[in-house]
Structure 1
Amino acid sequence: MTTQDRRIERRWEQLHTWGPYTLLGVGAVLTVASADPDAPAAKWYAAGALTLAALVLQLWWHGTGHREGGRRVPSRAGAVYYSVRWALALALTWLNPFFAFYAAAGYMDADETLPGRWQRLGLFASAVTVASAQSGGLPFESPVQWILFTALLIANSGVQMAVAHVTEQEVRRTAERAATIAELERANTALHQALDENAALHAQLLVQAREAGVADERRRLAAEIHDTLAQGLTGIIAQLQVVQNTPDPATGRLHTGRALDLARHSLGEARRSVHNLVPAALAEDELSEALRKTVADWGERTGVRAEFTVTGTTGPLHDEVAATLLRIAEEALSNAARHAHPTRTGVTLSFMGGEVSLDVRDDGHGFDPLELPARDSTGGFGLPGMRARAERVAGSLTVESEPGQGTAVSARVPLLRHDR
């Protein structure tokens, strides 16, 4: 409730409290001022006694505490008070019509003293007293007074009933507004709680996102190290073993040179991996050309017949997609050289509608995919690492192999082109 609303409530409370005293006083003063000096003393005594009784009644009611939320509410005591006051007002008005001012107090507080269905009856009773005073006072001495009384009673009752109806509607609307405001306050409280919970959840998600980013970067670096340094060192070891086992100096120099080239290449790839750059093979060439050179270099190093084929419309791919397919091809070829010992290997890059597929096939020893460990015997990531790379760019990787029947690795990723 606003300050203005509280101020209005306080003024209404003061009016309901002190209004009957004021009306009783006005009626008494006007009665004394208009009294007939020759009136019987008994009438004066009766008026004085009834006025004193009305004053005591008001003091009693003023001191009782039938209140809820700072204002009076209908009660049995309130109904008794209203009935006794009406009877005193009727008796006083019978003695002098000016006491109808006190009877009019019944219009002010019927809603605070009488239960709902009795309020209109109380208003009608007060209207009877006021109309009788307006028509000349009781008792009526002519038919004209009765006619005037009837008309005034209808007018007073009609006005008061209309006012009571409007008041009830306003009270109902006020209660509905209060309930709506309370509901809005509850909803607002719930909304603030939800916002606080969302803020806490958002902070938690940010922490989890940072942790996931750190974990993903670690996996990326691990895969890059495996695909560059591990494969490069494996190639260097193979070349140096040839040097160690050959008595021919020319052959030794040839394989030593290859080992140096692999070492330089691995060093460059390591630097690029740390800085999250594209592989060296993709720095100048598109994926198809980079794969062609990679397959040719691998075949030359291993002595295995290696063929590369491109189908579909080629073009520059997104850096991440191209790097993923190149790393998968390098890992598949490395696995073939280390484990399958094939005599022939084929690599096919296919551009098909909305996706790109990379197929690496060999006629090596083959294996049972169901017995594939999470990491290979050399500590590398192998096929699981290739599958993780493909899934990182919303792709997939499948492996088909049987012991003695060779192996086929197929990676499919979305076709995301990148204009250079």
Structure 2
Amino acid sequence: MDAGDGPIERRLEQLHTWGPYGLLGISVVLALVGTGQVEGRAEWELDAALVAAAVLLQLWWQLTRPRRPARGRVPSAAGTAYYAVRWAIAFTLTLSSGFFAFYASAGYMDADELIPGMWRRLGLFAGAITVAGAQCGGLPPEGVSQWAAFGALLAANSGLQTAVAHLTEQEERRSRERAETISALEAANTALRQALDENVALHAQLLVQAREAGVAEERRRLAAEIHDTLAQGLTGIIAQLQVVAAVPDLAGARVHVERASALARHSLGEARRSVHNLAPVALADDGLPEALKKTVAEWGERTGVRCEFTVTGTGEQLHDEIAATLLRITQEALSNTARHAAATRVGVTLSFMGDEVTLDVRDDGRGFDPVAVPARNGTGGFGLDGMRARAERIAGHLAVESEPGHGTALSARVPLVRHDR
């Protein structure tokens, strides 16, 4: 029930309680005034008895009827009996005086409350007979004209009451539907609150899982950064020092010692840089194309292998994470080529293609069977597995094509994400 329905229901309850008393009183007063002479009329004794019976009937019903709102009351056998007895009293009184039709019209107010189902229409029709009889001059009608008037008045009263009953039934149906809708909304609100509570708990769980995943991912990333900086630099230093041991002249040895010192300084710079933000030193002052060009040139000079770098498409200033990932993949690919391929020529191509950036590293070395390569190589490095993980971490993809004796082609394809301005 809406908040505004409470006063309306209370007024209806009062009308159903005191309305019959008021209509009976009006009928008695009009009947006395209209008749004029009361003394000596025997029928008034019967009328007085019927009026007293009507009052007692009303008191009985007032004391015994269910105390519920009118719209919430369910018709019962007692209510139907009360309606029938009241109609019989009103009909008998109306035969004596047409003014008692006012009392008979009380059935119009509470038929929906007292009579169930289709019987309600019959009860309203019975009340319409009493009222129409009083309106046409009394029952039974006399003459054709009075019967015609009675028929017309009965049809009018019945039609009006049928329309009112229909509207009342529609209102009751709407009230039931509204109550069902409110119940459904309350159930939906309860389910929504439960879903929100579950969502809060799930969100907290996801935060914990994301934090744990972030820690694990940062550990893997740090391990890869150390591998790509310190490990590769130390590998190069060891290689240069090994060459020194085999060089007979001092001038040649000095060249390799200087290269080892340069690698050591470079590795130290990379280590310091990694401590700060794990970004490659080569990208501190240059964009990715310039950094790759220097990396390729230094690698070729250090290894003595012919290495060429090419840029295709319109260059873009890439996001730091994208640039760092492609640079690290290049460094790892060149390191693997130096250690395993025995190549005489290497080509590195950086291609800007719309929404993607592609890095291709090709060599004419001895090649290998990609299926037979373990997830990590025997030196403890990350190899192809590490490069593939780097590409996938930024929603990219790494493809490797190779076969023994026919060289190797590595292609990393990643989204083109521009640098934050």
Q: Where on the TM-score scale, by shorter chain, does this alignment land: which range? A: 0.7 to 0.9
Tell me, in whole angstroms, the C-alpha distance in 2 between the residues paired with 1:416 and 1:161.
75
The aligned residue for residue 160 of structure 1 is: 161
Structure 1's 89 and 388: CA in aligned 2 closer, same or farther, altered over 3 A? Answer: same
8 Å CA contact 2:225–2:278 kept in 1: the answer is no
Q: Give yes or no for contact 2:288–2:323 (8 Å, CA) kept in 1.
A: yes
Measure how far apart 1:387 and its partner are: 1.1
Match of 1:397 in 2: 398
Q: How far did residue 418 of structure 1 move?
A: 5.6
1:419–1:67 CA distance, 2 compared to 1 (3 A):
closer
SS at match of 1:3: coil
Give the deviation of 1:190 after TM superposition.
4.2
Q: What is the rounded CA distance, in whole Å, between the counterparts of 1:63 and 1:185 in structure 2?
A: 36
C-alpha deviation, 1:140, in angstroms: 5.2
After superposition, the C-alpha distances for 1:125-172 in whole angstroms (9 at most, x for unaligned) are: 112222333344445566665455444434433333332233333333
Match of 1:14 in 2: 14
Aligned residue for 2:351, secondary structure, equals: strand
Identity across aligned pairs (percent)?
A: 67
Aligned residue in 2 for 1:122? 123
Structure 2 contact 132–150 (Cα < 8 Å) conserved: yes
Find the counterpart in structure 1 of residue 258 from structure 2: 257
Tell me how far 1:12 sits from its aligned partner.
0.4
1:305 aligns to 2:305 (yes or no)? yes
The change in CA–CA distance for 1:102 and 1:311 in structure 2 (over 3 A counts) is: closer
1:133 is matched with 134
Cα deviations by residue, 1:307-342 (Å, 9 ceiling, x for unpaired):
2141534634414333222211211121223334x1
> Contact (CA 8 Å) 1:347, 1:358: kept in 2 or not?
no
Separation in structure 1 between the aligned mates of residue 146 and residue 420 of structure 2, nearest angstrom: 106
Q: How does 1:138-287 map to 2 (within 5 A)?
A: 138=139, 145-243=146-244, 248-276=249-277, 278-287=279-288
Matching residue's letter, 1:19: G
Secondary structure of the 1:257 match is: helix
Aligned residues: 417
User: Over the residues paired in the alignment, what is the CA RMSD in angstroms?
Assistant: 3.2
CA deviation string 1:158-191 (max 9, x = no partner):
3333322333333333334444444444444444
Counterpart in the other structure of 1:54 = 54
Instruction: Mark the runs of 5 or more structure 1 residues left unpaired by the alignment.
Output: none
Q: CA–CA distance in 2 between the matches of 1:3 and 1:418? A: 60
Cα 1:264/1:149, change in 2 over 3 Å: same
Given the superposition, is the C-alpha separation of residues 83 and 417 from structure 1 closer, same or farther in structure 2, using an over 3 Å criterion?
closer
Read off the aligned partner of 2:157 and give its amino acid letter. Answer: N
- Maintained 8 Å contact 2:9/2:69: no
Change (3 A) 1:184 1:296: same
Amino acid at match of 1:18: W
d(CA) in 2 for partners of 1:205 and 1:173? Answer: 46
Aligned to 1:292: 293
Which residue number in structure 2 is paired with residue 369 of structure 1? 370
Question: Are residues 386 and 402 of structure 1, via their aligned partners in 2, closer, same or farther at CA, if it must alter by over 3 Å?
Answer: same
Aligned to 2:315: 315
Indicate how the Cα distance of structure 1 residues 69 and 280 shifts in structure 2: closer, same or farther if over 3 A, else same. same
1:77 alignment counterpart: 78
Structure 1 residue 5 corresponds to structure 2 residue 2: no
Structure 2 CA distance for partners of 1:328 and 1:143, relative to 1, 3 Å? closer
SS in 2 for 1:73: coil
Shift of 1:230: 0.9
Contact 1:349/1:356, CA 8 A, preserved across alignment? no
Moved more, 50-59 or 4-13: 50-59
TM norm structure 1: 0.85
> Whole-Å Cα distance in 2 between the matches of residues 143 and 321 of structure 1?
105
Distance 1:396 1:88, change over 3 A: same
- Report the alpha carbon displacement of residue 343 of structure 1 after superposing the two structures with TM: 4.7
Q: Is the 8 A contact 2:289 2:350 kept in 1?
A: no
Contact 1:232-1:262 at 8 Å conserved across structures:
yes
Query: Are residues 1:380 and 2:374 paired?
Result: no
Give the direction of change, closer, same or farther, for the CA distance of 1:145–1:416 in structure 2 (3 Å limit): closer
Q: State the SS of the aligned residue for 1:116.
A: coil
Structure 1 residues 118 and 416, CA gap change in structure 2 (3 angstroms): closer
In structure 2, how many angstroms separate the alpha carbons of the residues matched to 1:147 and 1:258? 129
Corresponding residue for residue 108 of structure 1? 109
AA of the residue aligned to 1:59: L
Change (3 A) 1:351 1:172: same
Amino acid at match of 1:159: L
> How far 1:31 sits from its partner (Å)?
4.2
Query: Is the 1:288–1:314 contact (alpha carbons within 8 Å) kept by the matching residues of 2?
Result: no
Range 30-39 or range 260-269, more displaced = 30-39
Is 1:38 the counterpart of 2:27? The answer is: no
Query: For residue 298 of structure 2, what is the amino acid of its counterpart?
Result: D
**What is the DSSP-based 3-state SS (H/G/I as helix, E as strand, rest coil) of the residue aligned with 1:358?**
strand
CA contact (8 A) 2:315 2:352 kept: no
The whole-number CA distance in structure 1 between the counterparts of 2:73 and 2:343 is 104
Aligned equivalents of 2:266, 2:101: Cα separation in 1: 115
TM superposition shift of 1:416: 5.3
Q: Are residues 49 and 362 of structure 1, via their aligned partners in 2, closer, same or farther at CA, if it must alter by over 3 Å?
A: same
For structure 2, the residue ranges without an aligned partner over 5 or more in a row are none
